[in-house]
Structure 1
Amino acid sequence: MTDILVVDDEIEICRALEKFLEKEGHTVRTATNGDDAVMEVKKSAPDVVLLDIKMPGKNGDETLTEIVEIDKNIVVIMLTAIDDIDTVLSVMKKGASDFMSKPVILAEVRRSIHSALEKKRLILENQQYQDKLEEMVAQKTIQLRDAEERLRGITESANDAIIMLNSNGTVTFWNPAAELMYGYCAEEIIGEKLTEYIVPATYRERHDNGLANFKIDGQGSVIGKTVELSAVRKNGQEFPIELSLAAVKIQREWHAVGVTRDITTRKKAEEKLRLNQDRLSRIVETIAEGLYIVDAKGRIVFANKASLKLFGLEKEELYKRTYNDSRWNIRNSRGEPINEEDYPFVKVKNTGKPVYGIELIAPQKDDKELIISINAAPMYGPDGAFQGMVATQDDITENKLAERALIKANRENEQLLTALPSIMISLNRDRCILKWNSMAEKAFGLKCGKVVNTLFYDHNIKWEWDKIKSAMDKCEGKSKAVELDNIRYTRADGKEGFIDLTINPVRNESNKVEGFLLLGVDITEKRILESHLTQAQKLESIGSLAAGIAHEINTPTQFVGDNIHFLEEAFRDIQSVMEKYSGLVEECESQGEKSKLLGEIREINERIDIEFLTEEIPKAIESSLKGVERVTTIVRAMKDFSHPGSKERVLVDINNSIQSTITVARNEWKYVANMETQFDPSLKMVPCYPDAFNQVILNLITNAAHAIGDVIRGESGKKGEIGVITKKENDWAVITITDNGGGVPNSIKDKLFDHFFTTKEVGKGTGQGLAISRAIIVEKHGGAISFDSKEGEGTTFTVKIPLVVKG
């Protein structure tokens, strides 16, 4: 759709043209003067302007000038009623595309607009073609100039000599490299015959003959080829060159362009390479290791003597085979048929990387088998393309058999070490761990893989390091085994244990110590059993001794008691007689009797203070009877406590048994605590092992007394409290022993029943009391023992014995 601006001061003409042109499918704008027309053009440039020349104000001529200045590509058709050729020519020169005379004919308007638009299109296309052509010419000029500069740069900076000859053999171009190579400057040789300067005499005739043929058709035996020749320098020295020759036709004449390269250095290198290759070939053929090459198609193309021997084939037969020829019958190291992807050639080709130590089993003609180790690497050409594989192979049959024997021996040794019931640790001289068997893992909770090749001293093994380090230094210094007994350590489960350790020196060929072998036996269970046995034997001995003492004391105690009772009764009789004697003396004296005998009696009474004796002797007799009764009670308690051990449970008055134990232990608690008991009278006979049960109660009362003693130490006259309560709960006899000592710290509660764990000072506790008590109650009686403790407040131990024995 064409945008048309109609400019005429006659409104009727504007409207008529607007109506006509809109029917023709155009967009029409109108203006009635030159200023409005210019303003419309500035708003939006129309495609066509129908402009009246004769208008008031700014006329058509002036308006045309301004429109062309705004956009010279706007088509302007002038409308005029003036029949003046000069005016028409003037507006046409200023840029009008056409003109029409008034009154206008509408068909002529249609034709003029179409003609003007077509003319505009052709002008624009022509301008575009011209612009494009100028651009192409400019680009080609730049390219040609660049090409000339590049060619000049190449020829002047080239390391090779570039020489151009015309068809007559005259030099027409000679670059700086040619000057350096041959010794002639360009001014000396351009325009001269080449043969007379650098061509050796032996080549001149051939050169001239070739030039004659070249002159005709630009052909020659060396055109388009690279050949090696000899040339002569200005100083007469003949040297080898490489010549590449091409033909080019310039202004209908053939020219030869030659590029020559001094290959003196290369020739020397090639000779050196040939010598090296010869030397390498000799080395390859004489080395004991097999070497062979496989090309990109998998064909064996080279094998040295050692490889031929391993293959068991002559060259002619070998070079007909590929790497995967079925006649090889190769198997992998496990004796299985080898898969295609496992061949060294395939691995190298697929990965592009070397492979090492591939072991294959290859049968031989004599029915023997060889174990071969292969190292292989890929070969690539200059273009990076895979060209094959170079490989070395070595007969490792004897080594593998020895290795298998060694592995078997090591495996047997490892099995032996694993089965060894002792802790085994092997160290080098720097105390770095070399071996660590399963018993060491079990004892210390450290896995072999975590500790091997690490420093022994760096591991947080909780044992007596000072003794062990000292023993190792002693072992190294004296080169003798050192034994350490009863080394205390913390086991993997966190409990205390003991090890008997022997540190043995490991000597080298020079008999110097180069390491250590530590052999240890966990004797914790042994110590526990020994402790139990010792405790049982001690209790048995104490029981026997207590029973004997009780028996021995019981008889004289009975004598003393009986005699004191006799003295008590006799004194009462004597006292009654003495009272009568005293009355008689007083009566005689009152009657005036003054016999010598009465005086002596009075004197004796006063001297012995008969009144005091009469008053105190009954008290002494009473106190003596109480003492004898106390001794009798203690003796009875000792007899009850030392009840002979029984292999079977027996019914025991548990309240009486506990009371007897309290009595026996009185010396432990009477200075530090008051004892309160509360026995359940309904708790009659309880099935138990009396001696073992008494031992538990004794341990708990003794521990309670010690706990209180630790708290009140240094506080004179102060005592704590120990309470013992028995009661029946369903089918259980429950005994609680409570103290108000210092309580059990939270940090050691988990260890309280562990063997050899004690918080008491050295010499006061063995760390076995509670461990043995737990074993007696839980394992022997099938009961339970527990405790509840608050630090700073005290502890309560609860023992439960079943009233009904199952099974």
Structure 2
Amino acid sequence: MLDVLRTGVPAHNVEVFIERPDGSRLPVLVNFAALKNAQGEVTGAITSFIDITERKRVEEKLRESDARKTAMFETTLDSIISIDHEGTIIEFNAAAERTFGHRREDVLGRELAEVIIPPAYRERHWQGMAHYLATGEGPILNKRLELSALRADGTEFPVEFAVTSIPTDGQPQFTAYLRDITERRQMEEKVRESEERFRTLANSISQLAWTADEKGYIYWYNQRWYDYTGTTLEEMQGWGWKKVYHPDHIDRVVNRLQHSWDSGEVWEDTFPLRGRDGKYRWFLSRALPIRNADGKVVQWFGTNTDVTAERQMADELGQLAADLSETDRRKTEFLAMLAHELRNPLAPIRNALEIMRLTEGNASTSAAAAMMERQVGQLVRLVDDLLDVSRISRGKIELRTGRIELASSVNHAVEAARPSCESGGVELKATLPKPPIYLNGDPARLSQIIGNLLNNACKFTDRGGRIDLDVERTNGHAVIRVRDTGIGIAESQIPYVFDMFVQADTSLERTSGGLGIGLTLVRNLVELHRGTVEVSSEGLGRGSEFIVRLPILDESYAAETSQEPANDNATAVLKRRVLVVDDNVDSAESLAMLMKLAGNEVEMAHDGLEAVRLALEFRPDVVLLDIGLPKLNGYEAGRKIREQPSGSEIILIALTGWGQEEDRRKSKEAGFNAHIVKPVDHPELNKLLESLLPSA
């Protein structure tokens, strides 16, 4: 301003900062003009201010943008080359230097064609430039193209490139983005050669073959497919193959295939395919996933093998072997299981009788009598169940119905089941509503329904577990729930739980007995009472729940139940060291009593792992070992005992309900000295022990 006042010359657009009262600074443009009198003398000045805050912000954004563009230009992996309207190079980034072998300073100002374009393409380049300058049209602009480029050493190599026009106030400029695709081309050539070899091989095999993408879209078939089906690729690609599949099988095939497409699992199925003559032949079909390095499915390869002749032969053999049908197989398994299950309860009965004979009325006799009562009851239930199943299957069973109070049948079943639960160390709790519930039913059969459910729960619940029986009235029905904390039921087994002869556990480690008919009886008896029964389980090891619904006859009134525990135990310590191993507590205890009465020092175990542990700690002379044990079956337990430091000196005797030749062979291979089938003949056992332990 002083200069304006001194010289009278105005000053325009001077950038200064004005400090505000709050200390912030405001950028402004200042204009100064001199005030003069009539004689032309400067008498003052006029000052104007323009806020340029926004302009400064925009300028800063532009500077940042330019910095980012420069960084991107120099660090990108793609070559970036810019030229003017005459084809002269005006930009050449670091990636371009590495790719083409030229230094930036050597190519700036040179004509693009002579630097990177092979001679064979230069004329086309010049024509394209001229056409664009004349018409404004560029057929290659903004398109992704592939062609050859030229390196500084004169070698040509494939590149992928795109060209874009940069609008300017004057003549146009162009920027090209280029990428060396030499490795990609080499890989594509290898893939092409591999595909050619694959198709040659696939066309030479005897099977029908095809390939699909990761989602199951089939895009290629071998020649044998077309020869057999008489179709074309246009008809078959995608899901067109369904046209030649048999309509009775197509839904199943599609569902299984879709499952494999979704899960990546190998697919295999057998079904008929229609040939060009309209006739169907059977094919075994398989599809294998092809995965990339990351394990992701990228393709499927499938084959269809003609197995018509094999199926016809199998059908003929199946007809000849009709006696080996599913029904006969179940009968055979049932008879084997029946023999085993009848031997198991007979073992403690015979043991108890021997104890009673030896003791003649002492305290042990009472315990033995109680064991006999329980095991005889088990035999009676097995026989009754067998008879009831037979009657129901022939429609001969009749209900003796009348107006009854449900609580009486429940209490009867609970008291009948309680000894088995207590013997197995399982807590049983029953809860009934105070208002009594009345039904039109057969009291004995209702007790049988509840008793079978409780016995089933007890069989499959380990020691320390719990069974809850709850009765309630809901929507005009009596709802009986039996929940346990036992082994649970696999989801795949739930639909078959009520089928005859089905066992939840058929392994050697199974801890419970039964013929697989108790739940069949439950379902049939419930249905005869116009009720329903269902089962649920969260899976193996998570327990299970059975729910029975029966129609109520009229209003209920108060009722209560009582429960009384029972307990019995007997121990003794004598001299010979014998380890008795049996998951049937009564069988183990009764045999232990006999061994003690014979003057032996006895220990008991109820599962395979406990047997192995006690064999190491107790160091017995003899181990009487059951085969069907929980946690570790008898064969494996015997092997592990033999592996112990003194295991070779122990006499191992298999004492089991399994007595087939195969069972005896397995026990011998496991290192047992002898194999005795329950119920044991005690004079025979004593004679065997004397022969194996002559010094005892």
Q: Same fold per TM (> 0.5)?
A: no
> Quick one: higher RCO (CA 8 Å, sep 6+), 1 or 2?
2
Task: Pick the TM interval, shorter chain.
Answer: 0.3 to 0.5
Q: Which has the higher helix share?
A: 1
